[in-house]
Structure 1
Amino acid sequence: MQPVLGVLLTLAVALGSGHRSPLNDFQRLRATELLAVPVDPPPLLPEQGSSEQCAQRCAASPACRFLPSPRNGLEENYCRNPDRDKRGPWCYTVDPNIRHQSCGIKKCEDAVCMTCNGEEYRGTVDRTESGTECQRWDLQHPHKHPYHPDKYPDKGLDDNYCRNPDSSERPWCYTTDPGREREYCRIRLCTEKRLRPLNVTTGCFRGKGEGYRGRVNVTVSGIPCQRWDAQTPHRHHFTPEKYPCNDLQENYCRNPDGSEAPWCFTARPTIRVAFCFHIRRCPDELGAQECYHGHGERYHGHVSKTRKGITCQPWAAQAPHVPQISPVTHPEAHLEENYCRNPDNDSHGPWCYTMDPRTPFDYCAIKPCSGSTVPSILENADTVTFEQCGRRDERLQQKGRIVGGQPGNSPWTVSIRNRAGMHFCGGSLVKEQWVISTRQCFSSCDADLAGYEVQLGTLFKDPGPGDPNQQTIPITRIVCGPSESQLVMLKLARPAALNRRVALICLPPERYVVPAGTICEIAGWGETRGTADGSVLNVARLPVLAHNECNAALRGRLKESELCTAPLRAGVGACEGDYGGPLACLTADCWVLEGVIIPSRVCARTDQPALFIRVSLYVDWIHKVMKMG
C-alpha cells in the first residue's frame, strides 16, 4: 500500500441544518498536520466527493489520520501515542482482526507526577494552573529570565515544560502572557512520596548539606533558630507541608534551597537567615588521607572536588570555563587531569575551575596538614602603596549630626536595592564593576537577582529624580566567597562612572592586621534609632580593638576571619540596613576596606565589641573573582 500524502478537505460545501459534520470529529492533535492532496489522488482515495465524504473516508484510514512527520516521531512501526490515549503508547497491528492495540509499556512514574517539590520532575506539562501556555526556556520573550538551558544543563529545561530550577515550592514556568511573569503548574504528587537520593547524614554533611538530618539548631553567632512551621519573627515559604522531603522538623538546621551549607531562619527579628554553628563536613569528603603544607603549592594529590562537592573541570579543557591557567601556561605546576592544585600561590590553598557554569572556580576539599605553618601576618603597611583608590574630596565631608553617626562622605559605599527599589543592605565599590557585601543579605548563593540594583553617588537614601550625582546600575551576578568568610561579590551590568561622588575603596595587603587603636569609619543608610537623620548616608568613627583583647571580651569565640572595634559609651555602631557596608581605615593616605559589616544581636552595643569580616584574609579570592569575571 502506498502511503497517503494528504487529505483534500474542501470547506466550500455548506452543511444542512441539523446534521453533524464528520469534520467535527477531527481533534487538534499535537505534532500532526493535514497536508494538501497532490494533483493526482493516491490509490487510497480514488473517489472525489464532498468535504463530508472525504472526512468519512479519512476517519476510517489510519494512514490518513496520523501522517508520518519528523515532528511527531511516527517512524517505522514503533509504538507511539499521537492522540494522547490514556492507556499510553499504541500502534495499528498487522492482524486484520485487531485494528489497534495498546503496547503495554510501563508508565514512568516520574514523568507524570512529582516527588517532594518536583525538582526531579521531567514530564511534559506545559501549562500553568490557570491554563496559560508556558514560555520556552530558551527564549527571552515575553519575559527575560536567567534560567537558560545552556546555563543549567542539569535542570531539564526542555521546550516549555514546567520545571523547578530554583528549588521553589513546586514546578513552575514563565508564561506566554506578558502580564503574568511566572506561575505554578498543576502536577500531582506521586503515590509514594519517595525521598530523593540525598545520602542522609546526621553528625556531618556532604556536598551542600541537603541530606543533613542532625539536630544542630543554632547559628554560627549562637542565635537560636526559628521553627520551620512558624512564621514569626520571619515569614517564609519553607514549611514542612510544602517541602515534605527536606525533613523540616522543629528548628533544626537544614538546606532546602541548595545553599552553600545547612542554615535556618533565626529567632532574632533583625537577622533573617544564617548558616549554622559547628556542623562539620564528613571526613570522606574532606579527603581524610589528603592534606597540604603551606599554601599547597606542592600538593600533587588526586582530590578533584571542591569543598562544596562540585566536580573540577580538567585543566586542559575549555568548557564550561575558559581557563587563564593551563598546563601550557604553567608547565611546572603538575596540572594533571582535573586534580586540585595551587599554581598561583593562592593563600587559601589548592583550588580548581569547576564544572558548574555559575561557579568559575572554588577551593578544594583538602585540609592543611597538622603542623603546617600559617604565613606570618603583616603588622604594618608603612611601605605599602596603592593604586588610584581610596581617595575622596574631603571638602564634601559635612559636620552635622548608622546609630550615633553624622551625614558624611563615603563615595565607595553603595546602596543595594530590591525589585521594589527599596534599600536593604550596603556594599563597597572595589572595582568599577564589582561590589563587596555580606552573604547574610541574600537568601542563597544562587539567588535570582533580576530586578536588583545598586545605587551610587548620592547622599540620600531615597534621592529625587533630579539628583545629578545618582547612578543606578543593575546587578547581574552574585559570587559567594569561601564558606567561613560570609563575603559575597556582586557584578554590575556596567562599570560605574568614577567622579568626586563615586570612588573605589582600596583593598588591604594580604593578611594585613590593622593596628589597635586605629580610628576607622563605618557608613550606611541603615536604622539610626532616632540618633541621626535616617534619610541620608551616615558615617561614624570607631577605634579598632586588638585581636587578643577582643577575643578575651568574647570569651574565646573570636575567629581569625573576624575583626572588631571597641564599644563606645555613646552607643555608636551599625544597625539593620547597614549590613554589607564598609569598615574603612586610612592607610598610607588612602582609605582601605579592612572590614565588612555583619549582623549583630543588638545595634550599637556599649558593652561588647562590634564584629566585622576581616577582608585582608580574602584578598587573593577577591582578585581572582574579578580577574575571571
Structure 2
Amino acid sequence: MRFMSGVVVAVGLLGCGAPEGEQVPFETVGHTDQEIVGGVEARPNSHPWIVSLQQYGSHFCGGSLVRVSDKEESDIVLTAAHCVYDGYSNVTASAGAHDLYRPTSTQVTARVTVAVHHPQYNPDTTMHDIAVLKLDKPIKFDTSVAGACGQSSGMRPNLAPRLAGSNTRVPVCLPASGERVAENTMATVAGWGLTREGGYDTSSILLQVGVPVRRHQDVANSYRSEGIVIDENAMFGAGYQQGGKDACQGDSGGPLVIRGAQGYVLQGIVSFGVGCARAGLPGIYTRVSNYIPWIHTQIRSLSAVR
C-alpha cells in the first residue's frame, strides 16, 4: 500500500509488488498504491478467510486462508505472485482482523516461512499471478460447522441469506478445477487497500465492494487498447462499465468471492488494473479455478497440518 518511486507505468499492480526494501526497479513495472474504491465497510468477521499480509507491521497485500485437511486449522494462504515475487523476509499474515490499527483478541498473526509463486508467473504480463504461502504455525479456525468453508456471518450488501455463525477465522472454499463464472455474476472483493486512485492513505478498516464479472471479449478489447493481453484461462475482469467501484493497490492478493452451494468460493485473486475504478477498465483477477491441481500439489508439499 505504498507508492513505489512515485512512478506509474502502464500497469499498476494492486499490491505494491513487494514488501518495502525488496522492490524491483520501477522501470520494469510501475506500482501505484490504492485500496477498495466505491466500497463500504465490511461487517466485522464477514470475510473470515481474509488475511492482511504485513511487513514490519505495515499492510501491503491481502490473502485468503484455505483448508488443508480435516483439521480445523491451516498454515496455508493464497495470494498474488506479485505480492511476494521479490521476497518475503519479515512478512506476517494476520487473520481475524478488521481494524488494523485496533487489533482485537480474535486476531491471530503468523510468520510467512515459505512463499511459492507459480513457476510460469511473468511479472511483465502478470500471467499466472498466484502464490501459496506457508505459515510458521497453523491458524486455528473457529468455524461452528466442522469441515466447512466459506461460512460468513452476513456479508454486506446482504444479497443472500446469512450463513451460520459469527466466525472470525474460517477457510474460503476453492472452486472446482476449470470452473467458469457466468458473466454478470455479482462478486465481492474485500481489502485494506487505497480508497481512490492516486491516494496515499490505505484503509485501516476492512472495506468491500460488489462488482459484476465481465464478458471476456469486452475486457480483452478494453485492455488491448492499453497494450495488455487478458488471457481467458488465467484471468478475468470484474467491475462496472462506467467505473466507480473497484479494487485498488493494497488490495492485491486479496479475495474475490462468489456465493456457492457450500459457502463463499474464492473465484478470483486481486491482480492488477490500469488505474482504479476507471470507466471501461475493470479490475483484473487471477482465475483461481485454473490452478486447482497446482494449489493442491503445493499444499501437499508445504503444509505441516495433517
Task: Please give the TM-score of this superposition, normalised by the length of structure 2.
Answer: 0.71
Q: Cα distance 1:435–1:495, how it changes in 2: closer, same or farther (>3 A)?
A: same
**1:594 positional shift:** 0.6
Residue 268 (structure 1) aligned to one of 15, 30, 37: 30
Residue pair 2:239, 2:245 contacting (<8 A) in 1 also: no
Give SS of 1:552's match: helix
Residues 158-206 of structure 1, C-alpha deviation per residue, up to 9 Å, x if partnerless?
A: xxxxxxxxxxxxxxxxxxxxxxxxxxxxxxxxxxxxxxxxxxxxxxxxx
Q: Take 1:573 and 1:615, find their aligned partners in 2: how far apart are those partners?
A: 19
Residue pair 1:516, 1:546 contacting (<8 A) in 2 also: yes
Give SS of 1:613's match: strand
Q: How does 1:362-401 map to 2 (within 5 A)?
A: none
Residue pair 2:276, 2:283 contacting (<8 A) in 1 also: no
Q: Take 2:242 and 2:116, find their aligned partners in 1: how far apart are those partners?
A: 37
Aligned partner letter, 1:501: T
Residues 405-441 of structure 1, C-alpha deviation per residue, up to 9 Å, x if partnerless?
A: 11112111100010x2111110111131111111211
Q: Take 1:474 and 1:495, find their aligned partners in 2: how far apart are those partners?
A: 10
Percent identity reads 31
Q: Cα distance 1:223–1:425, how it changes in 2: closer, same or farther (>3 A)?
A: closer
Residue 488 (structure 1) aligned to one of 117, 128, 131: 131
Residue pair 1:458, 1:470 contacting (<8 A) in 2 also: yes
**1:600 positional shift:** 2.1
Residue 208 (structure 2) aligned to one of 513, 517, 539: 539
Structure 1 counterpart of 2:285? 612
Q: Cα distance 1:436–1:607, how it changes in 2: closer, same or farther (>3 A)?
A: same
Q: Cα distance 1:448–1:424, how it changes in 2: closer, same or farther (>3 A)?
A: closer
**1:264 positional shift:** 6.2
Residue 92 (structure 2) aligned to one of 448, 453, 463: 453
**1:567 positional shift:** 2.1
Q: Take 2:224 and 2:97, find their aligned partners in 1: how far apart are those partners?
A: 41
Q: Take 2:98 and 2:189, find their aligned partners in 1: how far apart are those partners?
A: 15
**1:533 positional shift:** 9.2
Higher relative strand content: 2
**1:267 positional shift:** 5.7
**1:590 positional shift:** 1.5
Residues 235-256 of structure 1, C-alpha deviation per residue, up to 9 Å, x if partnerless?
A: 9799xxxxxxxxxxxxxxxxxx
Cα RMSD (Å): 2.8
Residue pair 1:437, 1:490 contacting (<8 A) in 2 also: yes
Residue pair 2:85, 2:117 contacting (<8 A) in 1 also: no
Q: How does 1:128-277 map to 2 (within 5 A)?
A: 223=11, 265-266=27-28, 268-270=30-32
Give SS of 1:620's match: helix
Q: Take 1:505 and 1:469, find their aligned partners in 2: how far apart are those partners?
A: 18
Greater C-alpha radius of gyration: 1
Residue pair 1:417, 1:454 contacting (<8 A) in 2 also: yes
Q: Cα distance 1:472–1:406, how it changes in 2: closer, same or farther (>3 A)?
A: same
Q: Take 2:88 and 2:239, find their aligned partners in 1: how far apart are those partners?
A: 37
Structure 2 counterpart of 1:197? none
Query: Which runs of 5 or more residues in structure 2 are unaligned?
Result: 1-8, 13-19, 68-73, 121-126, 143-166
Residue 403 (structure 1) aligned to one of 23, 37, 41: 37
Q: How does 1:34-433 map to 2 (within 5 A)?
A: 223=11, 265-266=27-28, 268-270=30-32, 402-408=36-42, 409-418=46-55, 420-431=56-67, 432-433=74-75
**1:571 positional shift:** 0.7
Q: Cα distance 1:459–1:448, how it changes in 2: closer, same or farther (>3 A)?
A: closer
Aligned partner letter, 2:132: M
Residue pair 2:98, 2:206 contacting (<8 A) in 1 also: yes
Structure 2 counterpart of 1:551? 220
Residue 84 (structure 2) aligned to one of 442, 446, 450: 442
**1:563 positional shift:** 1.0
Give SS of 1:411's match: coil
Give SS of 1:548's match: helix
Give SS of 1:496's match: strand
Q: Take 2:83 and 2:171, find their aligned partners in 1: how far apart are those partners?
A: 21
Residues 129-167 of structure 1, C-alpha deviation per residue, up to 9 Å, x if partnerless?
A: xxxxxxxxxxxxxxxxxxxxxxxxxxxxxxxxxxxxxxx
Give SS of 2:299's match: helix
Q: Does 1:579 align with 2:252?
A: yes
Q: Take 2:115 and 2:300, find their aligned partners in 1: how far apart are those partners?
A: 15
**1:266 positional shift:** 4.1
Q: Take 2:22 and 2:267, find their aligned partners in 1: how far apart are those partners?
A: 36
Q: Cα distance 1:570–1:485, how it changes in 2: closer, same or farther (>3 A)?
A: closer
Residues 206-259 of structure 1, C-alpha deviation per residue, up to 9 Å, x if partnerless?
A: xxxxxxxxxxxxxxx9559xxxxxxxxxx9799xxxxxxxxxxxxxxxxxx9xx
Residue pair 2:88, 2:112 contacting (<8 A) in 1 also: no
Q: Does 1:527 align with 2:194?
A: yes
Residue 272 (structure 2) aligned to one of 599, 604, 608: 599
Q: Take 1:237 and 1:442, find their aligned partners in 2: how far apart are those partners?
A: 9
Residue pair 1:270, 1:601 contacting (<8 A) in 2 also: no
Give SS of 1:494's match: strand
Structure 1 counterpart of 2:150? none
Aligned partner letter, 1:463: R
Residues 539-566 of structure 1, C-alpha deviation per residue, up to 9 Å, x if partnerless?
A: 1100011223322333483212111113
Structure 2 counterpart of 1:506? 173
Q: Highest relative contact order (Cα 8 Å, sep 6+), 1 or 2?
A: 2
**1:480 positional shift:** 1.2
Aligned partner letter, 1:509: A
Q: Take 1:439 and 1:269, find their aligned partners in 2: how far apart are those partners?
A: 14
Q: Take 2:80 and 2:29, find their aligned partners in 1: how far apart are those partners?
A: 20
Aligned partner letter, 1:527: L
Give SS of 2:169's match: coil
Aligned partner letter, 1:439: A
Q: Does 1:497 align with 2:166?
A: no
Q: Take 2:130 and 2:27, find their aligned partners in 1: how far apart are those partners?
A: 19
Structure 1 counterpart of 2:238? 565
Aligned partner letter, 2:219: C
Q: Cα distance 1:503–1:237, how it changes in 2: closer, same or farther (>3 A)?
A: closer
Q: Cα distance 1:537–1:236, how it changes in 2: closer, same or farther (>3 A)?
A: closer
**1:471 positional shift:** 0.6
Q: Cα distance 1:461–1:237, how it changes in 2: closer, same or farther (>3 A)?
A: closer
Q: Take 1:510 and 1:565, find their aligned partners in 2: how far apart are those partners?
A: 20
Residues 257-303 of structure 1, C-alpha deviation per residue, up to 9 Å, x if partnerless?
A: 9xxxxx964463517xxxxxxxxxxxxxxxxxxxxxxxxxxxxxxxx
